[in-house]
Amino acid sequence: MNLSIENMMRKIILPKRYFDNTFIIAEKFSEEIENFFLLMQKCKGEEFDAGKKIIIQNKIIQVIEKARLISNYIIKIFDCYENSDNKSAQELVDEIMIQLEKDIFVGTIDDRIEFYRNGECYLMRGFRKTPGYRFFRVRVSDYESPNIQKNADELFHISLSKRAYSNNERFSLAGFPSLYLSTMLPLAWQECGYPQKYYYSEYQYKFSVDEKTGERVPDNELKFLMIYSPDEIVNWGNSIKYSNFDLWLDVIMRYLKTYPLILACSFVNQSGKVPYKQEYIIPQMLMQWVQRNNSKIQGIEYFTCVDISMRTSEWCAYNIVIPAMPPYNDKKYSITLKKKFVWTYPQFYSIPLFNKSYNEEDRKLIYCFVSDIRDAMRKYSYSGQYYDALIKMINICGCLMGLFENENAIDMQLVLHILHSLSENAGSIYNKQLDNEIETKMKKEDGIGLIDESCVIDACDTFKDLYYRFFSTSNKFKSVYYLISKYKDLCWNDSHPHSEVTVLYCSHDKVENSLQWFEDNHILYNVHKIDSSSKTIEYLRKIASETKISLDDFWDRHVESEV
């Protein structure tokens, strides 16, 4: 059976999850990589014409040869690690990176990759949809602390003076602090284990800009080793495969050569929380390689290995990790990283679902609603789908009330699953459109138990009232269905505030003091150089339009000429 390249890549989906107490990373890697080679051999390029088919088949042979070499190195690394031969293991990592030097993707923090073709370097937008200019960091905390809220460094990397508190992470060793960030707050929250209470800060990277022209200078920015998932590459390729075949094929083949290394960094053993994480062996060694080669690469960007299936909307967030590189200031923080980022003071967040003072009105609403359903069911003998719908409404309300009443620590992943299930169950009721032609339908229900015509009308009106109160869109704040969605969003902290100052300037030296003040006070900002070009005029028109003011009001004077 032949496979298209896209279908093959969809079969090597990452991360690889295992639920096995006898998990041995070397064995699992060998199994997965052999499956990879079997799938590769089924890619014959049948989806293309004869000329392209031959090119693909030749490329596949090259990929298998290189990927087999990298796989053998990785298996040897596992052997060296088990034999406590760390020196040989690191030498093998060095050899892997030499072999993949022309294949690995290197880019900037916002997913612009350096792409080498025919000996020349190109900058191209990478394979992720996330803009890459906002980043988040989360720190678990059971209570609010003025000391944390007044000190932005509390959510910077762990100070070297407190390095004893830095844990083993996928891409960092205990005792070696690193700055971990996510491009979405919900992902940062997930990476920290779904805490009910936490602090978070928003980070903004300071892109390198030519002060005279205002143009970006990527060469002066931090460089990252880019670790993509197969899905990210496939999704990107959908729009480029036929319009630029050579570029598509080049990217795919380079990715497949690096796949064994990416695979070795993407195992998750979910059999329990244990101190020794075998799946961290290769990613931690890769980070050590970055630290040894920090003149070329300063960090790693990688897709998440946490379970994001509860995040029902499609999103393409990613993480970055940067080791705390020298030199350090007197408080033992990386001066280089401090110069590269602006970040906000920590904000405390407690998930409102369990806050009795916050959800009091919502609890009253549900209690009254359930009471009214029970009264209606005592008064009228609903049957069939109407009876079933009312019972489901009661069960949904009861489950939601149970969450409100729970003040003790509870597994947030379970809470998210419950809220998702409640939403699905409510949706199944709504899809039946039981409010349409209810009088006619209810009269046809067997065993309705209603005595006369007026009783049927009253029963129908009562049901419609309950139905609308459950699903209301006109007064959604009194709707049970709305409450489910509201608390789902509040769990994710989707509505967190975001503000930044836009600084327009003609001469950079005139705003340097202002920018420094923003940084000292941890206020996010962006800068925009203005001149008499049409680009600037369009930009100012856009601002005036968005704020619904005239250009005269914008400048606080009459404008004879926009230029």
Q: Nearest-CA neighbor of 299 among 226, 206, 209, 233?
A: 226
Mean pLDDT throughout 238-264? 93
Length reported for the chain: 563
Burial class for 231, CB neighbours closer than 10 Å (0-12, 13-18, 19+) = middle
Give the pLDDT band of residue 444 (cuts 50, 70, 90). Answer: low
3-state secondary structure 77-144: HHHHHHCCCHHHHHHHHHHHHHHCCCCCEEECCCCEEEEEECCEEEEEECCCCCCCCCEEEEEECCCC
Q: Residue 515's pLDDT is what?
A: 94
pLDDT above 90: residue 306: no
- pLDDT at residue 25, rounded to an integer: 94
Q: Cα dist. 104→280, 284, 507 in Å?
A: 20, 17, 39
- Taking a C-beta distance cutoff of 8 angstroms, is the pair 385, 485 a contact? no
Average pLDDT over residues 519-546: 88
pLDDT of amino acid 447: 45
Do 63 and 40 form a contact (C-beta atoms < 8 A)?
Answer: yes
Mean per-residue pLDDT, 350-356:
91
Question: Domain locations in the chain?
Answer: 5-131+207-293, 353-492, 501-555
Mode of pairing for the β-strands spanning 224-227 and 299-302? parallel
Cα dihedral 213, 219, 223, 226, rounded to 10, equals 90
pLDDT computed for residue 271 by the predictor: 65
Mean pLDDT, the chain, whole residue set: 89
| pLDDT bucket at 4, cuts 50 / 70 / 90 | very high
User: What is the CB neighbour count within 10 angstroms for residue 88?
Assistant: 14
Instruction: Quickly list DSSP for 288-302.
Output: HHHHHTTTT--EEEE
Q: Looking at per-residue confidence, does 331 or 42 come out higher?
A: 42
With the CA atoms of 528, 529, 535 and 536 taken in that order, what torsion angle do they form, in degrees rounded to the nearest 10? 90
CA pair distance 50, 19, nearest whole angstrom: 44
> Does 313 have pLDDT greater than 60?
no
Model confidence at 239, pLDDT cuts 50, 70, 90, reads: confident
CA distance 85 to 99: 22
Dmax (CA) of the chain: 89
Identify the helix (H) or strand (E) that includes residue 349: strand 347-350
The two beta strands, 319-323 and 178-182, are: antiparallel
